[in-house]
Amino acid sequence: MNIKTLQKKIRDLLKEKNAILLAHNYQRPEIQDVADITGDSLGLSLEAAKTEAKIVVFCGVHFMAETASIVCPDKVILLPVISAGCPMADMITAHSLIQKKREHPGVPVVSYVNSSASVKAESDICCTSANAIQVVSSLVGHDTVLMTPDKNLARYTQRFTDKKILYWEGFCPYHDRLTAAQVKSVKNDHPQALFLAHPECRPEVIDLADEVKSTSGMLEYVKKTESREFIIGTETGIIHTLETQNPDKVFVPADKKMICTDMKKIYLDDIVKALVTSSPVVKVEEGIRVRAYRAVERMLKIPRD
Ligand code: 13P
Ligand code: SF4
């Protein structure tokens, strides 16, 4: 079946099953185009919580579907390819976090949403790439915090706070591969372009950025700024949405190889199959969910940028 036929089949099935299709900004273009809503990891989970639909097809990776299950336990959350994970989220387990907490009693744990539900359950509060600074500032009365699992997000946040940030040594293999030398070379070829970096990039790459933003932050920023050319320092899937929303602007990847293979595991066929079979389901076990929800809910009370 060709793309248009598959997309039509998906739209028909979504209607028939009272389902909604959410796609992360890094998904394949044909999936972003057929989705009801595209967005960043947390934004999509909040959309899942808001919808009247009983079934949510989440095109993203496992921790995102889990976050949707945490915030809307009454809905059926489908992740069309169950093996779509996040290597960074897998760099920490609940067990290893419990051990680390014993080394630092009383130090609050801030976990990036890119973590499993069981790690969230062991955390005091969650954060996203859009609100990490505000989350850390909200921990009044604590001079030290522990951020997991992304060392780069932690080191970026450290720039904006007097608190001491201890951090887990995790990283995103795709963002962490981008080097300052690569960025300098692309900047050299595009001297007028603004460089937008994701906070998962290394500190020396962040130093070269005109703006540091979450994926949705980048989309918002590009729409409202006058500049016409941008170097994009995040997973290249976002360039599809940037181009669609800003046909008069030019986007250059900082590194063409910043492609998250897990984000690309889902194809249109998988979505059809998921809707027909109502599987694979991602459901967080209630004991873990309730504790993970506390950390997510605490974050949600803090404004996003
Ligand atoms: P965002 O929350 O900015 O969409 O980032 C998610 C992610 O996986 C970044 O690599
Ligand atoms: Fe995880 Fe990186 Fe892929 Fe985002 S881009 S899902 S952080 S591996």
What pTM was estimated for this model as a whole? Answer: 0.95
- CATH of region 3-86+263-284, choose from 3.40.50.360, 3.40.50.10800, 3.30.70.260, 3.40.50.300: 3.40.50.10800
d(CA 25, CA 166): 30
Using alpha carbons only, how large is the chain's radius of gyration in Å?
19
Which of 91, 215, 259 for a ligand 1 pocket mutation test, highest count of atoms within 8 Å of Cβ?
A: 215
**Amino acid identity at 188:** N
Query: What φ, ψ does residue 174 adopt, rounded to 5°?
Result: -85, -45
CB 44 within 8 A of CB 64: yes
Q: How far is CA 141 from CA 106, 125, 225, in A?
A: 11, 15, 38
Looking at ligand 2, which residue's alpha carbon is closest to its atom 2? 172
> In sequence order, which residues have a C-beta less than 8 Å from that of residue 261 and are 6 or more positions away?
none
What are the extents of the domains in the chain? Answer: 3-86+263-284, 89-171+288-300, 174-253
pLDDT in tens, 82-113: 999 999 999 999 999 999 999 999 999 999 99
pLDDT in tens, 172-217: 999 999 999 999 999 999 999 999 999 999 999 999 999 999 999 9
d(CA 116, CA 61): 11
Say whether the peptide bond before residue 280 is cis (omega within 30 degrees of 0): yes
174-253 CATH: 3.40.50.10800
> Comparing 3-86+263-284 with 174-253, is the CATH topology the same?
yes
| Domain 89-171+288-300 homologous superfamily, CATH | NadA-like (3.40.50.10800)
Residue 260 alpha carbon, nearest atom of ligand 1: 10
pLDDT in tens, 3-21: 999 999 999 999 999 999 9
Spatial CA neighbour of 66 closest among 87, 91, 47, 41? 41
